[in-house]
Amino acid sequence: MKLGYHSITWGGVIGEPTGVTSVKDLFYRANGDLERALRDIAAAGYEGVELFDGNAADFADRPEALRELLSETGLTLVSVYTGANFIYADILPDELWRVNRAAELAATFGAEKLVVGGGARRAAGTSDDDYDRLGKALDTVVDIAERHGLVASYHPHLSTIVESPDELDTIMARSRIGFCPDTAHLAAGGGDPGELIRRYPDRVRHVHLKDYRPDPFAFLPLGQGTLDFADIVAAVREAGYDGWLLVELDSYDGDPAEAARISKAYLDSLLG
């Protein structure tokens, strides 16, 4: 398994503000210096990187600039991450247009994978039909990804309708999309990451690693929280997954490069 890192830690994540009035433009974006992020990730010893769709879109009109940066740092663009509400019929076509745009960009820059999160929680509460809508939309995401030569996976996430183990079971039964376990989000949603990976071994297509502390709540570099990564890595291996392991730390109080080094040293020790 190769090790990669998400650029999110450099500046944290924002949503493109034009998306407030134009859903098709509601990209995710890491709000920091992408060149610095890639150079820090490479210096920490990682081989790959994951980007948000908005950061990839910044290079749509100058693709050689990103290709040169990846070449200089020796990094592979592994995956592009996007997300959507997926349950509102009127805006779904524009959301899927944006997913298709993310897939186009991922393929342009040589990525292997498209990762999506989402499934909105309504103010009035979640209905069973919302899972049907989400499942159907995620199957369309699979079709979009396959047209671009990519593998699609779904990332359960806090604040969506797929937080808890029961909610994960519900959507896994209603879509054929791959599973991207995010270790901290699964734990924060009340699950055991290793157990959930073992529950869906044939669906694991991508892996996000981050540590977690429940009280006070925090996402942390690997080895600094409460998660059992020896068991998590064992579960990943038992699933027969031998692809990329992506560290995806949402934020860090100190230098993001330091966080990347902490997690890399931990993984090197764990993987032996």
Burial (CB count <10 Å: 0-12, 13-18, 19+), residue 265: middle
Domains with residue ranges and CATH for the chain: 3-271 (3.20.20.150)
* Position 272 confidence tier, pLDDT thresholds 50, 70, 90: confident
- The mean predicted confidence, pLDDT, of the chain is 97
pLDDT tens track for 130-180: 999 999 999 999 999 999 999 999 999 999 999 999 999 999 999 999 999
Q: Show Cβ contacts of residue 97 under 8 Å, excluding neighbours closer than 6 positions.
A: 24
Q: How far apart are CA 230 and CA 114, in angstroms?
A: 26
pLDDT tens track for 100-133: 999 999 999 999 999 999 999 999 999 999 999 9
* 37-64 average pLDDT score: 98
